Amino acid sequence: MSEEILFDCLHAEIVNYCLDGNKEHDLATLEYIGFTTGYRLIERLTRESPRFKDELETMKFICTDFWTLIYKKQVDNLRTNNHGMYVVQDKAFRFLTRISPGTKQLEHAPKFVAFTCGLVRGALSNLGINSTVTAEVQSIPACKFHIEVNRN
Amino acid sequence: MSRQASRLDAKKVNSEFLTLTYGALVTQMLRDFENVEDVNKQLERIGYNMGMRLIEDFLARTSAPRCLELRETADRVQQAFRIYLNIQPTISNWSPSSDEFSLLFDSNPLTEFVELPPDLTNLRYSAILSGCIRGALEMVQLEVQCWFVQDQLKGDNVTELRVKFVRRLEEVIPAGED
């Protein structure tokens, strides 16, 4: 679809902007841009849906429906230990598919997953789940996102 | 599980996703720079970079032949807006010498959820659009200037983007290469 390339370009530029040399910028900024986007987007997406029954149902929504809408494919695997830890595996993550697979490129991988960490955290946050989201890239373009629910 | 999904319109979500992400970026820039002019410049630059890449996709997608005059170029720019943003600007206000035209937008998806606070009237929120046009056309050897004449965000009835042809760029072989 045509908007896809548009978003891919915008995402690449945001990554560039956030990590560009002279300013005090880092992955946290990138993550935060994702967070505010996710926070607002989920509000619009779930406006008409009934309240989610529990944490698991919310997670399922984020990791299946939401993910598919944004990343144009289903996640390849979703696991949970039933104690607030969820692992989402995507074997061809949208923002990594245009990068050559190689160990040298691997060090750049965090830039391309930070936005998504924020996006997921923001979406969950607006649905009342306080979480920590981290990503793990072992070989491009596969990626694992670890979502840890912070229960206090 | 998919009961919500059936209700969500993928196209609409895509467009809102883009709009909100862009909004988040602009907000971040406003925090990063004290001077609004700097934000305008950054947004324009980001657009320029995107335009340089999007033109490749556009040419591949449309197999458009070379434009022989600026009126054809204007049609292509209009077509690009339809493809990428699903909006159709009107081309109008040609200058007598046919080297300048305006794109009139009834709506702008980028500003769908935006209201400018009174202290940010200098912000060119959609500067990315003018940057995009400039970047894309530069890749096909056309140097243009592009600026906003009217903006719905600032209370005008339409958003008007003016494009002015500056010159044709010659292909230059980089120094040291034969």
Reported confidence tier of residue A25, pLDDT bands at 50, 70, 90: low
Say which of B5, B20, B23 has its CB closest to residue A65. B5
Q: Do residues B21 and A80 touch, judged by C-beta distance below 8 A? A: no
Q: Starting at the earlier edge strand, list the strands of the sheet with B142-150.
A: B90-92, B100-105, B159-168, B142-150
Averaged pLDDT, B103-125: 90
The count of CB pairs under 8 A between chains A and B is: 100
Reported confidence tier of residue B7, pLDDT bands at 50, 70, 90: low
Count of CB atoms within 10 A of residue B171's CB? 5
For the record, the structure tokens of B144 come out as 């243009």
Specify the number of domains making up chain A: 1
Domains in chain B, ordered, with CATH?
13-113+121-166 (3.30.1380.20)
Distance from the Cα of B23 to chain A's closest Cα (Å) equals: 8
Of residues A37 and A140, which shows the higher confidence score?
Answer: A37
Count of CB atoms within 10 A of residue B140's CB? 16
Distance from the Cα of B96 to chain A's closest Cα (Å) equals: 34
Q: Is residue B45 predicted with pLDDT exceeding 90?
A: yes
ipTM: 0.89
Give the model confidence (pLDDT) of B118-129 as tens digits: 888 889 999 999
Enclosing domain of residue A140? 1-149
Q: How far apart are CA A43 and CA A39, in angstroms?
A: 7
Say which amino acid occupies B149: V
Q: How far apart are CA A66 and CA A88, in angstroms?
A: 13
State residue B1's pLDDT score.
47
Global pTM reads 0.89
What percentage of chain B has pLDDT greater than the value 70?
94
Give the relative orientation of helices B70-85 and B127-138 as an angle to the nearest 10 degrees.
130
Residues of chain B in contact with residue A7, where contact means CB-CB under 8 angstroms, are: 14, 17-18, 21
Residues of chain B in contact with residue A40, where contact means CB-CB under 8 angstroms, are: 20, 23-24, 113
State residue A148's pLDDT score.
93
Say which amino acid occupies B78: Q
- Least Cα distance to A41 among B28, B112, B115 occurs for B112
Burial class of residue A119 (count of CB atoms within 10 Å of its CB; 0-12, 13-18, 19+): buried
Q: Is residue B66 predicted with pLDDT exceeding 60?
A: yes
Identify the CATH number of the domain in which residue A1 sits.
Answer: 3.30.1380.20
Distance from the Cα of A70 to chain B's closest Cα (Å) equals: 7
Mutation for B interface: A1, A41, A71, A73, most B CBs within 10 A: A41
Q: Do residues B125 and B116 touch, judged by C-beta distance below 8 A? A: yes
Of residues B145 and A20, which shows the higher confidence score?
Answer: B145
Averaged pLDDT, B128-146: 93
